[in-house]
């Protein structure tokens, strides 16, 4: 793109735009991680409230998709600056910045084909969306208080009723069985005396 300026001036302005766009991109990455952490914390705090869970899941997914759209738009602008002014390209007769070209060639030598755009702009938001979808359909585990409450509501099989203690005490027997429940005479008398003492005004 010919603007009538010298190539050096064009590169300087391109570097200025590119630097600001790169700073904005990294700031958005940090904001995305912090915001998603807050969403996950709110989801965990409102685990027993279905309405809260559903609202947080929708917000987390919507924010991930919106962030992906804005990041891709900014990346396209940075790519245009790079391909037009910054990266040397003999086929397109773009002089570019030789130092920057050396940096890019060094990145190309990395054997794993993972770019910053692929990891931060694509994988990060979509993996977050998958996590939110899994939480949306996952059944929440019971809380500690709820488990304790259910345990307290269960009847204890080994507990004697008051009527059974009355019949055991009146039978004047030692160890034996009352209504199909085995008991020790001394233990029954001790338990009965304790209950009578508690019931006194």
Same domain? 83 vs 179: no
CA angle centred on 90, ends 84 and 95, rounded to 5°: 55
pLDDT in tens, 82-140: 888 888 776 666 777 788 888 777 777 776 666 767 788 888 999 999 999 998 887 76
Q: What does the pLDDT average to over 174-198?
A: 49
Residues spanned by the domain of 35: 7-148
CA distance 75 to 185: 84
Same-domain check for residues 122 and 178: no
Task: Write out the two tokens for 115.
Answer: 């770019």
For residue 2, is it within any domain?
no
- 113/180 same-domain check: no
Query: pLDDT tens across 3-28, in order?
Result: 556 777 888 888 899 999 999 998 99
* Residue 157 confidence (pLDDT) above 50: no
- Is there a domain that residue 45 lies in? yes
Coil, strand, or helix at residue 175? coil
Mapped onto helix, strand or coil, the DSSP state of residue 141 is coil
Query: pLDDT band at residue 154, thresholds of 50, 70 and 90?
Result: low
* Stronger pLDDT, 34 or 169, i.e. the higher one: 34
How many independent structural domains does the chain possess? Answer: 2
Same domain, 18 and 55: yes
Same domain, 23 and 95: yes
- Report pLDDT for 27: 92
Number of Cβ within a 10 Å radius of residue 57: 19
* H-run or E-run covering 91: none
In a shared domain, residues 142 and 175: no
Compute the Cα dihedral for 9, 10, 14, 15 and give only its sign: negative
Residues 122, 188 within the same domain: no
Length of the chain: 201
Q: Identify whether 1 is part of a domain.
A: no
For residues 106 and 11, give the distance between their C-alpha atoms in angstroms, rounded to a whole number: 21
List CB contacts of 59: < 8 A, sequence separation 6 or more: 39
Least Cα distance to 82 among 145, 19, 150 occurs for 19
Q: What is the pLDDT of residues 63-89, one digit of tens each?
A: 999 999 998 999 899 989 888 888 877
142 and 181 both lie in a single domain: no
CA geometry: angle 146, 56, 123, nearest 5 deg: 120
Query: What does residue 183 show for φ and ψ, rounded to 5 degrees?
Result: -150, 160
CA distances (Å), 183 to each of 58, 159, 192, in order?
Answer: 59, 11, 12
pLDDT more than 90, % of the chain: 25
In terms of domains, do 57 and 144 share one?
yes
Q: Is the pLDDT of residue 156 over 70?
A: no
Question: Residue 26 and residue 30: Cα distance in Å, rounded?
Answer: 6
Can you tell me the mean pLDDT for 52-59? 90
pLDDT at residue 170 is higher than 80 = no
Beta bridge partner(s), residue 176: 183
Distance CA 62, CA 52 (A): 15
């Amino acid at each position: 793109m010919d603007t009538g300026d010298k190539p050096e001036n064009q590169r300087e302005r391109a570097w200025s735009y590119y630097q600001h766009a790169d700073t904005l991109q990294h700031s958005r990455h940090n904001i995305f991680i912090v915001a998603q952490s807050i969403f996950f914390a709110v989801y965990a705090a409102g685990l027993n409230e279905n309405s809260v869970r559903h609202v947080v899941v929708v917000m987390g997914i919507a924010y991930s998709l919106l962030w992906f759209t804005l990041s891709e738009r900014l990346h396209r602008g940075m790519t245009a600056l790079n391909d037009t002014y910054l990266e040397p390209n003999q086929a397109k007769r773009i002089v570019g910045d030789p130092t920057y070209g050396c940096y890019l060639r060094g990145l190309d030598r990395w054997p794993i084909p993972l770019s910053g755009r692929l990891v931060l702009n694509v994988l990060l938001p979509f993996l977050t969306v998958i996590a939110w979808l899994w939480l949306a359909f996952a059944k929440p585990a019971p809380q500690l208080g709820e488990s304790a409450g259910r345990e307290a509501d269960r009847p204890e099989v080994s507990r004697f009723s008051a009527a059974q203690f009355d019949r055991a005490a009146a039978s004047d027997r030692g160890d034996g069985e009352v209504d199909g429940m085995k008991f020790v005479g001394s233990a029954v008398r001790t338990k009965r005396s304790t209950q009578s003492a508690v019931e006194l005004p």
